[in-house]
Amino acid sequence: MSTIRLTKHHGLGNDFLVAFDRGAFAGSDVPELARRWCHRRRGIGADGLLLASDADGYDARMVLYNADGSRAEMSGNGIRCFAQAVAGRQAADAELVVRTDVGDRRLEITATDDPDTVDVRVEMGDIDTLPEPSGWATLGCHPDRPVAHLSVGNPHSVVGVDEVAVVDLAALGDQVPHINLEIVEPGPEPDAITMRVHERGVGITDACGTGAVASAYAARSWGLVASQHQEITVHMDGGRASVGFDVDVPTRAVLTGPATYVASIEVDLR
């Protein structure tokens, strides 16, 4: 029986296990490993499993499995955690290029006063409009309520609400489990929004990086945040992240937020 070393990290409470593949997972049922390791009571506990492997011309290749074993295209918090794992638990600044299922992502890592935490800036690419997802009508959104269906490499549906704290997000998310569902309200600052998220393959999480990008873009397009603000603060249950938009290409975004090292774990690979 072989063992493998995992590191655990979180981005604003959205937590991930990172494993360096290098052939160790050949013949393994990786979705089952993700379900087992990510289980909150019977495993280590995490929102997802990130596999790192070598890739020519890149610092690493990232593959993401959700806690339920499903494969996901991208994670804004996950890639920050991934970058910290690849760069090492370090104090020095670094720049990385990571290959993902949705293309290249460039990252800049900056040290903080906390030796376990780094700030990571991620070029998130373009935001695209998606058609209404299947089953959306079951939510019964009022026709006057702002809604946006967007891709940040993965699918999101963003809904503007009066107060995120009073919405039964778990019940809504369970009706459309195949998408990432965000609810947003303006403020509390003029250049900020408050967001909660129900993630596909996981459920309610403390934060979602791609969801923050989709929500900031939607809120700006609805006028919840004035268009002159090129950088929007997104408040989530786990903390806040910053989403910046390109002046010349407003559908292109950059996400900045922390990644925190939690622990190293050795597990049996069987």
The identity of residue 98, as a single letter, is V
Q: Report pLDDT digits (tens) over 124-141.
A: 999 999 999 999 999 888
The single residue listed with the structure tokens 């950059």 is 254
Kindly state whether residues 158 and 244 are assigned to the same domain. yes
Kindly state whether residues 85 and 138 are assigned to the same domain. no
Kindly state whether residues 143 and 75 are assigned to the same domain. no
Kindly state whether residues 153 and 104 are assigned to the same domain. no
Q: Is the pLDDT of residue 188 over 90?
A: yes
Q: Is the pLDDT of residue 22 over 70?
A: no
Kindly state whether residues 46 and 69 are assigned to the same domain. yes
Q: Is the pLDDT of residue 46 over 80?
A: yes
**Total domains present in the chain:** 2
Euclidean distance between CA atoms 176 and 136, whole angstroms = 7
Q: Which residues contact 10 (CB under 8 A, 6 or more apart)?
A: 16, 77, 81, 238, 259, 260, 262
Q: Report pLDDT digits (tens) over 218-250.
A: 999 999 988 778 899 999 999 999 999 988 888
Q: Which residues contact 204 (CB under 8 A, 6 or more apart)?
A: 169, 170, 173, 196, 197, 198
Kindly state whether residues 136 and 146 are assigned to the same domain. yes
Euclidean distance between CA atoms 40 and 65, whole angstroms = 15
CATH number of residue 158's parent domain: 3.10.310.10
Kindly state whether residues 132 and 220 are assigned to the same domain. yes
Kindly state whether residues 113 and 138 are assigned to the same domain. no
Instruction: For residues 60-65, give the mean pLDDT.
Output: 94
Q: How confident is the model at residue 1, as a pLDDT? A: 59
SS (H, E, C) 138-197: HHCCCCCCCEEEEECCCEEEEEECCCHHHCCHHHHHHHCCCCEEEEEEECCCCCEEEEEE
Kindly state whether residues 119 and 150 are assigned to the same domain. no
Kindly state whether residues 240 and 151 are assigned to the same domain. yes
pTM of the entire predicted model: 0.94
Kindly state whether residues 194 and 216 are assigned to the same domain. yes
Kindly state whether residues 154 and 117 are assigned to the same domain. no
The range of the structural domain enclosing residue 99 comes to 2-123+258-269
Q: 93: pLDDT confidence band, cut at 50, 70 and 90?
A: confident
Q: How confident is the model at residue 92, as a pLDDT? A: 64
